[in-house]
Chains A and B, each alone.
Chain A
Amino acid sequence: MAEMRIGSDAVTRSAAASLLSVRDLQVEFTTAAGVARALDGVSFDVSPGETLAILGESGSGKSVTGQAVMALLPKPAGSIVGGSIVYDGLDLTARPVKDVRKLCATEIAMVFQDPLSSLNPVFQVGYQVAEPFRRRLGMGKREAWGKALELLKRVGIPDAETRIGDYPHQFSGGQRQRIMIAMAIALEPRLLIADEPTTALDVTVQKQIIALLADLQAETGMAMILISHDLGVVAQVAERAAIMYAGRIVETGPIREVYDRPAHPYTRGLLDSIPSAAEIGGRLTPIVGSPPNLLALPSGCSFNPRCPFATDRCRTKVPALRQPASRGSDHAAGCHYSEEVLADA
């Protein structure tokens, strides 16, 4: 039974098949102004070789999700206060940070948003790409350097033999991200988390980077979590999408289904606000209002102040993720009025 569990009330997708299984994850940030719940009951699964896109505006919790998995939440402000992150049968939330990082080093890799600040400016790129081989596999300097060169060639750094000794600032943005990717895939991880990998890049370069990630995935069979605010960028490579809003997953399903028949007003708003080539000269439809302050979330559904479908019910009761009538079993949305949203299209 390939049912999907989202939220605390739905049924579990067969756990054996998934590589990473996040259940009801709660993350809090303690700030001077109070405690912010950055993630509230986030659940999703990633199967081997699959690509999941996590989409949402800034502050929706998509990056925090990646950080929580990698034990990279900023200390001491951020902490996991509930739920579980099960990787390959191992609950990462129950393990010390040290062990999680060790595991991540060989199993789960991460590519960050800004390749310039994510590469250490004072070390040669070769050194940085070779580091996993040296520190994790105990490889000798020369051998690791050779491996790093192979990787740089594989991710398409031109003239890699000479450029391996250069420093990050001597590369273009796209090349830097390629180097980050080389570093991430060095130890052939089974899961790659790419946190806004293309956001800091030019549009043409964005496509190349996404294509590179897709190629590498096809070669290695690794699973990917693509975190992005850009629905267009991930459309070609992701099989499934999870839309996040204010620390919750509000809609999830096969990416084509979600894009073609959004069952949550927020997803629909996001899709409507994408500029499309066919409508040059037309007006964009923005989502009115702005994302909520995590320190003062509205009661009921967090999206209600911005939602054209909102009723009193939305202002009092938090909607659980559920399968809308007439939709497939793997499509779910956290909205009281999904059927109306679908019918309205």
Chain B
Amino acid sequence: MLGYVVRRLLLAIFVLWGVATVVFIIVRMVPADPALLIAGQTATPEQVASLRQQMGLDRPLTAQYVQYLGQAVTGDFGNSYTHNVPAVYLIGQVLPNTALLAVLACTLAIVVSIPLGVLAALQVNRIGDRLVTTVSLIIQALPGFWIGVVMLLVFSRSLKWLPSAGLVGAQSLILPTIVLALPFIAILTRLTRSGLIEVNGEGYINTARAKGLGELTVVFPHAIRNALIPIVTVIGLQFGTLLGGAVVTETVFSFPGIGKLLVSSIQLRDYNVLQASVLVIAATFVIVNLLVDLLYAYIDPRVRLSK
């Protein structure tokens, strides 16, 4: 178990190195000059040149790469060009917001979708099931940004119940949480339903019934624990994605999270912030995936973590 974790973490270092390299290359391939952008249109060519030198952008790419990697290992990604504070500091300011949003959205999704999925599975092809599957299919088909905009129009603009942008207290979290959770609820409900229906034909479910357990006791815990593997996979992937910042949703709601920071760093050609954000997002994803794999072994004792 411990050996497995260590091996996975070593592997993660390679993954992150790959990510760092790809980001570095892509950023430099974009035909835009951050120095020009920062200096402004009124700046003289000399001013731009000196700024570029100051930012180290005039040095050969290999030298920049080596310096970038060397600093990244120590957690130093350089200063933000636009805010002139360490990139890591900017990330540290917005990451907790994104994490809070991710946890809220995931919790809401799990709390709503598992009971709905169980309900649907318990009355397959009857009215409750049809209703749940149809509604979740519709939600899944709607694009997230559209749901976000509509909710903004209804709840902030027309009804004026909730704030429309930024993070000004707990109310600001309500709409983004719902918008992020909705498609997730749809997927998870359908997955819970199909997982339970599949498990329903298994011998141990018959054994549980033969013990005289009621249908609900058959589901909790006998069926659900077996249906949980695909559910946990999707929860893990989705949570990892949300932690990496819901770029679209954060932009729609002007939510100060890492997704929005990423978008603005691209717009401003703020290389250091961009590189740092991407690496942080990648690292979160890798760690969440590792945690999901560890969780498998906990849920299903047949899973061996030795390979």
A101 and B212: CB pair below 8 A? Answer: yes
A136 CB contacts on chain B under 8 angstroms:
211-212
> Interface residues of B toward A: which range?
20 to 34
- CB contact between B210 and one of A109, A117, A122, A135 (< 8 Å): that residue: A109
Given the complex, which residues of B lie within 8 Å of A101, measured CB to CB?
A: 209-210, 212-214
Q: Does B206 contact A (CB under 8 A)?
A: yes
In the bound complex, residues from chain A placing their C-beta under 8 Å from that of B212 are 101-106, 132, 135-136
A contacts with B: majority SS = helix
Are A122 and B226 closer than 8 Å at their CB atoms?
Answer: yes
B30: shortest Cβ distance to chain A, in Å?
49
**A71 (CB) vs chain B CBs: closest residue:** B209
Q: Is the CB of B302 within 8 A of A119?
A: no
**A121 CB–B CB distance under 8 Å:** yes
- Given A167-B302, A169-B301, check contact A117 B211 (CB 8 Å): no
Interface flag for B52 (CB, 8 Å): no
CA of A118 to CA of B222, assembled, Å: 12
Interface centre among A101, A103, A110, A112 (most CB of B within 10 A): A101
Q: How many residues of A contact B (CB 8 A)?
A: 30
Known contacts: A135-B217, A169-B301. The answer to whether A120 contacts B208 by CB under 8 A is: yes
Closest residue of chain A to B223, judged by CB?
A: A120
One digit per residue, 1 when the CB lies within 8 angstroms of any chain B CB and 0 when it does not, for chain A 63-97 equals 00000001010100000000000000000000000
Q: How far does the Cβ of B205 sit from chain A's closest Cβ, in whole Å?
A: 8
- The one of B202, B206, B214, B221 in contact with A72, judged by C-beta atoms closer than 8 angstroms, is B206
Task: Say whether, besides A104-B210, A135-B212, A117 and B301 are in contact (CB < 8 Å).
Answer: no
With known contacts A117-B203, A120-B226, A131–B302 Cβ distance under 8 A:
no
A188 CB-CB contact with B under 8 Å: no
Distance in angstroms between the alpha carbons of A34 and B203 in the assembled complex = 25
Beta-carbon nearest neighbor of B125 in chain A: A76
Contact residues of A between 164 and 198, Cβ < 8 Å to B: 167, 169, 180, 183
CB-CB under 8 A from A167, the residues of chain B are 301-302
Partner of A122, one of B203, B214, B217, B300: B300
Which B residues lie within 8 Å of A142 (CB)? Answer: none
Contact A123 to B206, CB < 8 A, known contacts A101-B212, A105-B212, A135-B213: no
Q: Which of B201, B210, B222 contacts A120 (CB 8 A)?
A: B222
Chain A contacts to B: CB under 8 angstroms: 70, 72, 74, 98, 101-106, 109-110, 112, 114, 117-123, 128, 131-132, 135-136, 167, 169, 180, 183
Apart from A105-B210, A128-B207, A136-B211, list 6 A-B contacts with CB within 8 A: A104-B210, A112-B206, A117-B203, A122-B299, A123-B225, A135-B211
- Could you pull out 15 A-B pairs where Cβ atoms are within 8 angstroms? A101-B213, A103-B212, A104-B212, A106-B212, A109-B210, A112-B207, A117-B202, A117-B204, A120-B207, A120-B225, A121-B226, A121-B300, A136-B211, A169-B302, A180-B207
